Structure formats: structure tokens, C-alpha cells
Copies of this chain bind each other. A is one copy, B any other.
């Protein structure tokens, strides 16, 4: 089979995914929405989400336009040296990456805001219909994200045949993720914290009271951060894993005069999409079935389908079984890591109970025990990632002894592709969470009764459990992807070195002081980046609190509920502040990379990426898991344990949850994006670092 046919097949499969997503979208939209309050609130949320996206688009346009111009001028070589066509291709690929990522995010938000209310109302008919609305709403996002990824990468490669264009496409996806995931993360926590501080604490009104000007912003935030942000994040990782694998596959194929490896990358990616499609299609729940096992079993089904499909393809296309093994290893390790993560956040397991119990002694102990278990939770995922890197490397270096090193790196990148293969299913399950979470809130606002609330509670709790699993999964996947990107960086450096007649870079030896210097600086970046985001959330929340005070002081009748508050002002503050706070953090990460590169050259940057990956993985696992753990400990106490709602233990658990919110929804998951962005910047600028650094 030729690569072209494979690419066309990939494109067909991605269109099938889009088609199915559209069908699901229509199905969700067809579901009845009759309750007036729900309809009104849904409308406000939709409007708010669009406001955020519009404003984000405007800033993004300026940013992406600027970057595109820089790429056009400088990459791969200054445009005035005659490389016009290459440069324009890179710039357009970059823009395509931002646009496709933005598009899939928009689709996801659009359907999520529709599905919220319909899932709430469907709960009146029972658990099954409500679950189906939530699940299919999420699946629209899943299909759109992965469809766009496969389509984009295939198209760029089909048209250009150039892996650097794919890297630029990937960089586009990453820059968007920086805005969508990081900005969305700041947005959602800003609104959440401000609403809580003024509503529950100062005014003593319930969580979702419509008199609170921040309440719509809070609901918008769930969609903006959890749906669009998460989608952009996984789109980014998925594209980056394919880009990393392609760069190495292309190099190998060129050297050996074959096309098997490039074919393999596209084949495995397309089959992943197909498996997710089939997994979503066959997802079922019996009338009063358990939603958690329904979600998990669809993950297993997808994994099984994928293993079988790729085995068949490996046999038919005569791909090395070592490559297949690396791919499946990545997938299995991803699932296993997801489940160990689950242990640390599941409310039937020891950590949640211990943190809830510690809350008896006051908030300090909630925090200390949560941080401790968060630290402990990093070990299985770190070891799992380490093992899959080591084994996939060792397997694939046997394929061709003359190219052992390159095949070994290819093995790691294929493990990342394998881990991310079922990402369509993962995104579906993940987007299900915020939909049913919002459905629960809407059911409360719309007074749908206790029976309905019981159902939406059950669906919500399933969403939380599954979210913990998918989160562990996506951090590890991002980890493996950036390890693969490290290989890409070295490969790009060596391409440039060959062209310039310089010495090849054989590796990044920790005993080389430039590498070690880079490692130390790189390791500090994720800490600094997440600190800046958390401080940003705090500053932004203070701004919104001021606005809420202003509204209560100046709008007459607001306190009595006679007049609607100016919801849009709060949305504006959250939006504006989110983008304002994320830019310095992003700049610190990118500028430090550039400075280290120009000081210490490619060796320092290699070390920098290694340090960045190590501390980034560690901190993002820690923050995400500790956050999830505190969240579920609070819920566990609220379910009547350790004194239940209103007890001192509950108050302490709430403190834990408040600390955990920006941990798990802003800083923790944003680190993924930070690492990917930095890795891609390093790869794209490798020629400059090679030639123009102070130390060599």
C-alpha cells in the first residue's frame, strides 16, 4: 500500500468521524428542552461561552498572526535567503493547526452547552436517557477532536510531504492549547472562586443562586475550561505524538528507501480513530445500569478493538511486530496508569478516607495529608512511563541493527501514538463529565425534583471517577509524547548539523555541564509557570469580587432578586483577566527556552527539555491528583462521613477543595501544554541554537 492511499484512507475515516459527530449532534439537539428556567440559563451560558471564545479568537488572531509572520520570515531559513516556498508552507501549516484546534473546541462547547439542559430534562425519564444525552454530547467532542487531528496531520503531510510543516502544524495546535487550556483554566477558577467567596461566604446564598453576578461565568467556566480546554489539550498531545513519530519515521524511511514507517504512523493513528468510533457506537447502558462501568467498559471495548485492528494491519502491511508491541505497550501502560491514578482519588479507597479523616484536626491537616498522598501518587505513573519508554526502545532497536538508535526512538514515539490512539474515547468520556455536572446544577435551578437530582448525582459521580482516570492517562500520554519530542529535537538538530557540516549530537550527557545547567533551569520552569498561573487566578478572582461588590452596591433590587445582575461584566473580567495572566507565564517559559538556547546551545537545550519533562511530569501528576483527591474527600464528607455537611471536618475539607481547584483545573493540566510548547519551540529553533550560541 502506498502512503498516499493510506493518507486518503485516514482522511476518509476522519470524515466518517465528523459525519458521526454531526449525527450525534443532531440527535442531542432533537432531545426535548421544555423547562423555562433551564432554557433561559442555558441561553445565558451559551452566550457567555461565545463571548469568551470571541474575545479569545481576537487575541489569538493577533498572536497567531504574529507568530505566523515570524515563521514565514525565519523558518526553516530566513526568507530573504530564497526559501520562500518552504517558509510560506510552514506559516500556513501553523495557522491550520491553530484553526483546526479552535474549530474542534468550538464544536465541543457548542454541543456541550446544548447537552447540559437536555441531559437534565432527560433525567425525568430515567437514568438511561439522561446518560445517553451526556455521553453522546461528549462523544461529539471526542469525534471532532480526533477527527480534526487525523485530518489535519494527513492533509498537511499529503500536500507538503514535509515533516517540518507537520511540526509547525503541531506548534499551531500547541499555541492554541496554551490559550484554550491555560486561559480556560484561569477563567474557570477565577469565576468559581469569586462566586464562592462572595456568594457562599459573604452573602450566604446557595452555590448556584441566580442573584450572584458570577454564577453564569462560573457555569461558562465549566464548559470553557473542562470541555474546550481539555479538548485542545488532547488535540495538542495527539498531534504532537504524530508529529514526533513522523519526523523520525520520515528520516528512517528516507535513509532506508522504504515507506513502511510513515505508513505505520498514519495507519495506527487512523485505526485509533476508527476504534474510538466503534467504541462510541457500541457504548450501552442497561435501564438502571451503572454509568461508571458503562463508561469504563466502552474504554475496554475500544482498547480491544484497537489491539485487534492494529494486529491485522501489522500482519497485512508487514509492519514489524516489535513496532506493534511498542504501540500496544503504550496503550496498556496508559490504561494501567489511569487506574492507579484512580486509586488515589476514588472515594472508596484509603487516600480519600484518610484525607477526610485528617480534616477532623483542621484544614492544615487536610492540606498536609492531601499533599502527601499527591506526592505518593506520582510514583506509579513515573515508573510506568519509565518502563514503557525503556521497553519500547529496547524492542524497536532490534528491528534494524544499522539504525538501532533511530528505530529505538521510533519505538518510543509509537508507544506515545499507542497511548494516545484511543483518545477519541477518552475525550468522549472526559467531556461527559462537565455536561452531567452542569446538568445537575440546571436540574436544581429548574426545580426538577429530588428523584431527578438523585439520577443526575449518580451520573455526575460517575463523571468524576472517570475524569480521574482520563486525567492520569492524559498526563502520562503527554509525558511520553514529550519524550518522543526530545528524540525529534535531536533529530532536527542533526539534520541541521549535517547541512552545516558540524559534529553530530549523539545525546545529552548529564555529565556535560551545559546539559546539566539546562536540566537545572528546565526543572524550575514548570514550578514557576504553575505558580504564575495560580497567582494569576488569585489576582483575577479579586478583580471579579470587586465587580460583584460594585453590582450589589449600585444595582437596586439585586439583593432581593427583582433585577438580573450584569452577568456579562463578570464574564468579561474572567475572559480578559485569563488572557492577561496567561501571557506572562507563557512568555517566561518561551523566553527562558530561547535564552538557555542562545547561552548554552543545543546541549543546554537538550538538558533543559529533560529537566522540564521530569519536573513537569512530577508536578502535574502531583497537582492533578492532589486536587482530585481533595475534591472527592470533600464530597465524601458531604455524603455524611466524618461528621457530614456543616461539621468542622467539612469546613476543613472545603479548604482542601479550594486549594485543589486551581491545582487540578488550572496549573496541573496546563503544565502538559507548557512542556509541549517548549519542546516544539526548541525543535523549530534548533538550527539557530546550533549556530549562534555563546557556549557550544
Q: Which residues of A contact B (CB under 8 A)?
A: 197, 201, 358, 361-365, 367-369, 371-376, 378-379, 382-383, 385-387, 389-390, 393-394, 405, 408-409, 412, 483, 486-487, 490, 506-521, 523-524, 527-528, 530-532, 534-535, 538, 600, 606-607, 610-611, 614-615, 617-618, 622, 655-656, 658-659, 662, 695
Cβ-defined partner of A510 (8 Å) among B367, B508, B520, B524: B508
CB pair B615 A618 closer than 8 Å: yes
A486:B507 contact, CB within 8 angstroms:
no
Is B607 within 8 A of A510, CB to CB? Answer: yes
Which of B378, B483, B524 makes the CB contact (< 8 A) with A524?
B378
Counting chain B CB atoms within 10 Å of each CB, the highest count among A197, A513, A618 belongs to A513
What is the oligomeric copy number?
A: 2
Cα-based distance from A527 to B371 in the complex (angstroms): 10
Known contacts A367-B367, A534-B368; A383 and B520 CB within 8 A of each other: yes
Q: Which residues of B contact A530 (CB under 8 A)?
A: 372, 375
A578 to chain B, nearest CB (A): 17
- Using A508-B511, A618-B615 as known contacts, say yes or no to A375 and B201 having CB atoms under 8 A apart: no
**A493–B409 Cα gap in the complex (Å)?**
27
A336 and B540 CA atoms in complex are apart in Å by: 33
CA gap between A18 and B286 in the complex, in Å: 81
Complex A-B, nearest 7 residue pairs according to Cβ-Cβ distance, in ascending order = A507-B509, A364-B658, A393-B513, A375-B531, A386-B520, A375-B527, A372-B531
Given A376-B531, A510-B507, A524-B382, decide whether A516 and B367 contact each other with a Cβ distance below 8 A. Answer: no
B617–A614 contact, CB under 8 A?
Answer: no
Contact of A382 with B655 at beta-carbon distance under 8 Å, contacts A509-B506, A513-B412, A695-B394 already known: no
* B618 touching A521, Cβ below 8 Å: no
What are 7 A-to-B residue pairs whose CB atoms are below 8 Å? A368-B534, A373-B531, A389-B520, A486-B511, A507-B509, A507-B511, A509-B510
- The complex places the Cα of A517 from the Cα of B387 at a distance, in Å, of 6
A605 → B minimal CB distance (Å): 12
- A514 engages B659 (CB within 8 Å): no
- The secondary structure that dominates the A interface is helix
Asked whether A362 and B615 contact (CB < 8 A) given A375-B530, A517-B390, A531-B373, the answer is: no
Q: How far is the CA of A610 from the CA of B614 in the complex (A)?
A: 10
Query: For residue A373, which residues in chain B have a CB less than 8 angstroms away from its CB?
Result: 531
Shortest CB-to-CB span from A444 to chain B, Å, is 24
Interface centre among A487, A518, A535, by most chain B C-beta atoms within 10 angstroms, is A535
Q: Which residues of B contact A658 (CB under 8 A)?
A: 362, 364-365, 368
Q: Which residue of B lies closest to A615 (CB)?
A: B618
Within the assembled complex, what's the spacing in Å between the Cα atoms of A662 and B516?
30
Q: Is the beta-carbon distance between B622 and A538 smaller than 8 angstroms?
A: no
Bound form: Cα–Cα A155–B108 in Å: 72
Q: Could you say which of B371, B386, B528, B614 contacts A615, with CB atoms under 8 Å apart? A: B614
Chain B residues contacting A524 (CB-CB under 8 Å) are: 378-379, 382-383, 618
**Residues of chain B with a CB closer than 8 A to A201's CB:** 362
A362, B618: Cβ atoms closer than 8 Å = no
Residues in B with CB closer than 8 Å to A376 are: 527-528, 531-532
A386 and B517 form a contact (CB under 8 A): yes
State whether B365 touches A363 (Cβ < 8 A). Answer: no
Is there contact, CB below 8 Å, between B513 and A390? yes
Q: In the complex the two chains form, what is the Cα distance from A611 to B378 in whole Å? A: 14
Contact partners of A382 in chain B: CB under 8 A: 520-521, 523-524
Residues on B with beta carbons closer than 8 Å to the beta carbon of A610: 510, 519
For A367, the closest partner residue in chain B by CB is: B659
Judging by beta carbons under 8 Å apart, are B600 and A390 in contact? yes
Min CB distance, A352 to chain B, in Å?
15
- The docked-state distance in angstroms from the alpha carbon of A379 to that of B615 is 13
Decide: A390 near B531, CB < 8 A? Known: A383-B524, A524-B382.
no
Measured CB to CB, the closest approach of chain B to A363, in angstroms, equals 5
B606 near A510: Cβ-Cβ < 8 Å: yes
**A508 and chain B: residue at smallest CB distance:** B510
Min Cβ gap A23→B in Å is: 42
A197 touches B361 (CB 8 A): yes
What residues of B have a CB within 8 angstroms of the CB of A611 in the complex? 614
